[in-house]
Amino acid sequence: MHFSDDEWVAIALSLKVAALAVSISLPLGIAIAWLLARREFFGKSLLSAIISLPLILPPVVTGYLLLVAFGRKGVLGIFFEQTFGLVFSFRWTGAALAAAVMGFPLLVQTIRISMEAIDQRLEAAAGTLGANPVWVFFTITLPLSLPGIIAGTVLAFARSLGEFGATITFVSAIPGETQTLASAISAALQDPEGEPEAWRLTVLSILISFAAIFLSGFVSRFVARRLGTAP
């Protein structure tokens, strides 16, 4: 397949957005997954429901809420711009934020399931031997949940790569700035002569997604075998 310069820009931007989205959401995702898997507290069901909202809400609604909160006039948008000089609306950083929000539920739920499958007696045994909770987390919980973390990361990456509705609502589809693969495909379909471009980008999106899922499964099984947790 031969891609034009504009198509290569959209491809590179999509990969950059997806990579940043996963990078900024992974630490928080692990922390919240652990909280939901290991702690009982008032409002736990509410927190779980809020995290799952992007899976249920129309993506356009999520994008609009991001625009209200992180736009130039939004409270969080003003805070980040004045404090860190970081602007989200109609910037590629906003595309990464939207992608992170849309992929976050998949990330958290996958890691949570992995952590809940760990035998808590292993953690309890380490505690009785004098290990503090932080040490138990980093030496037992985190390593044993690594296959789930890898799977969740790849699912979030794939979801971020294909994000469209929230992104185009929040940051539009500006060529070279916020036009990702999904929005480039949409733009090509609006062009009477854009079907070949749409097909090229669609096939590439499928190939990237398949490669990510295959790699995730391979790495997860390899790690599980090394840890002795493979079925």
Position 36 scores a pLDDT of 94
Rounded Cα distance between 225 and 231, Å, is 9
What are the tokens at 62?
A: 């999520």
Output the pLDDT for position 108.
Answer: 96
pLDDT attached to residue 124: 83
pLDDT the model gives residue 175: 86
Roughly how many angstroms between the first and final C-alpha of the chain, as a whole number?
Answer: 40
pTM, entire model: 0.88
State in words which class domain 5-227 has. Answer: mainly alpha
Question: What SS3 class is residue 130?
Answer: coil
Amino acid at 128: T
Residues in the chain: 231
pLDDT at position 51: 94
Q: Do residues 26 and 18 lie in contact, with contact meaning Cβ atoms separated by under 8 Å?
A: no
Segments in the chain below pLDDT 50: none
Side chain identity, residue 193: E
What local confidence, expressed as pLDDT, does residue 110 receive? 92
Q: Give pLDDT, residue 69.
A: 94
Instruction: Tell me how far apart the alpha carbons of residues 145 and 128 are, in angstroms, rounded to a whole number.
Output: 21
- Other Cβ atoms less than 10 A from the Cβ of 94: the count is 27
Rounded CA-CA distance 206/133 in Å is 42
Residue 189 CB neighbour total at 10 angstroms: 13
Q: What's the pLDDT score for residue 187?
A: 87
pLDDT tens-digit series, residues 25-40:
999 999 999 999 998 8
